[in-house]
Amino acid sequence: MYFHNTLSKHKEEFVPSRPGAVSLYACGITAYDYCHIGHARSAVAFDVLVRFLRSKGLDVTFIRNFTDVDDKIINRANQEGISSEAVAEKYIAAFHEDMDRLGVQRATVEPRATEHIGDMIALIEKLIAKGHAYATPEGDVYFRVRSFPEYGKLSGRSVDDLRSGARVAPGESKEDPLDFALWKSAKPGEPFWESPWGNGRPGWHIECSAMSERYAPLPLDMHGGGLDLIFPHHENEIAQSEAAIDGPFCRFWIHNGFVQVNSEKMSKSLGNFRTIRDILESYLPEVLRFFLIGRHYRSPIDFTFEAMEEAEKNARRVYETMQLCMDALQRSKWSGGKISPKFASELESLETAWDDAMNDDLNTAAAIGHMNNAVRLMNRLMEDKTAAKSEEARPLFERFLADMSRWGDILGVFKLDPQAFLAELRTCRAKRANLDVARIETLMADRLEARKNKDFVKSDELRDALSAMGVSVRDTAQGATWDIA
């Protein structure tokens, strides 16, 4: 399997440094607000990565932190008149609720910054002893960027270019404008911890270095997050960690692409800020997840309602085909007719192509394309009524469902009962169309009663009434079903 390594700027074959085991660290949220779609994209991308690695039989230690002390958390606490601890607890709980709905599995370890202050202080002390960091009279501690010659190797930025735009803010006693904070002296009204340099709190970057080393042997196999973290966060992590251990910090750096909304950068000022909770008011969680994995994780993705509806249609087609295959397998009698060997060979080719796509830098977009072709293949088979009843078709239906189960395990989709999903999807779509589901069900029941009584005039009237509401009715061997037209 190959992954694009941000550090080397190209795809490399991935082989774990320890046989059978992988260490992976992904930067988590700063817990001061509800998660937005950008958080969802990163969480789902790394969830698929973990699922994929585990499908290879690898023992993955997945570390995802929570930043639970930060300027934004302190500001929110002051706004709401509660403690910083209460703010962090509220939004960490909200994160778990959102991720559970999206099918994002919990990390192996989910450390919080405030639980590892001692680890951070020990790391800072080591950096000071090695001459890579210094304390100021005010009680701040800074990392000497120029003491680490390889600074900029992840982002591709040079120290000289960075120096031209750097400034020292009022009240800072930096030796160099490029130096970044490892420890911040306490300000009035802020949470603080005791340290050798006085009361204060850690800088943002130091927490991930300390917690990485605490929970996994260095170098890490993989570390990542969104593209926005490459500089300065991940660049600073590399500098402080490698300066402390005199060796490599991480072998592979993995970064997911940005999310836009209607081709614009998402921001509250533009009025296009979309939280996960906002989106799940109108769409099912699995539809949102399916939308997010529909693009390669490194590519930018544009959130639009049209794109969500397309993802919804695609997910519905898959579930409908799964249900058709399940229904076919309930058949008690199969014919002895023959089917073309092309069906089996095509399915086998798609299975190989699916695996190749995922092995090639976790290309979920290509993998979903192969999955859709498998869906079309099954629908072609079922369109031929004679072939669909053939004994030779049964193992193909079983094989397709087995593929969907395996692929769904890795992608984190298509694990629900098809009938239940399709029913929930109808209700969700009706809600978006401002339709009364109870009224629809009543009309459907009345129509069924009319058909039982052979009152076809009334049955047609009820169908017309449903159609006027924007509801389509389909009569099947299993009974009548409805959907939003």
Q: What is the pLDDT of residues 296-353, one digit of tens each?
A: 999 999 999 999 999 999 999 999 999 999 999 998 889 888 899 999 999 999 999 9
* Burial of 205 (C-beta count, 10 Å sphere; 0-12/13-18/19+): buried
**Average pLDDT score over residue span 420-446:** 93
Q: How far apart are CA 417 and CA 177, in angstroms?
A: 58
Task: State residue 165's pLDDT score.
Answer: 57
∠ CA 303-306-309, rounded to 5°: 100
Task: State residue 271's pLDDT score.
Answer: 74
Q: How far apart are CA 256 and CA 108, in angstroms?
A: 21
- Lowest-confidence region among 105-109, 163-167, 289-293, 430-434: 163-167
Evaluate if residue 71 carries a pLDDT over 90: yes
On average, the pLDDT of the chain sits at: 94
**Average pLDDT score over residue span 407-419:** 97
Task: State residue 171's pLDDT score.
Answer: 64
Residue 170 — very low, low, confident or very high, per pLDDT cuts 50/70/90? low
Task: State residue 167's pLDDT score.
Answer: 63
Q: How far apart are CA 407 and CA 399, in angstroms?
A: 12
Task: State residue 397's pLDDT score.
Answer: 97
Task: State residue 179's pLDDT score.
Answer: 96
Residue 273 — very low, low, confident or very high, per pLDDT cuts 50/70/90? confident
Task: State residue 83's pLDDT score.
Answer: 95
Q: How far apart are CA 14 and CA 423, in angstroms?
A: 42
In residues, how long is the chain? 485
Composition of the chain by helix, strand, coil, percent to 5? 50, 15, 30
**Average pLDDT score over residue span 28-43:** 96
Task: State residue 484's pLDDT score.
Answer: 86
CA atoms within a 13 Å half-sphere pointing along the CA-CB vector of 191: 22
Task: State residue 166's pLDDT score.
Answer: 61
Residue with tokens 């251990």: 245
**Average pLDDT score over residue span 157-163:** 84
Beta bridge partners of 103: none
Higher pLDDT, 284 or 169: 284
Task: State residue 182's pLDDT score.
Answer: 98
Evaluate if residue 385 carries a pLDDT over 90: no
- Quote the tokens at residue 53: 């690695």
Evaluate if residue 429 carries a pLDDT over 80: yes
Q: How far apart are CA 393 and CA 377, in angstroms?
A: 12
The pTM (predicted TM-score) of the whole model is 0.94
Residue with tokens 């339709």: 435
State pLDDT tens for residues 215-255.
999 999 999 999 999 999 999 999 999 999 999 999 999 99
Alpha helices in 216-302, H assignment, sequence order: 235-245, 276-279, 285-292
HEC states along 195-223?
A: CCCCCEEECHHHHHHHHHHHHCCCCEEEE
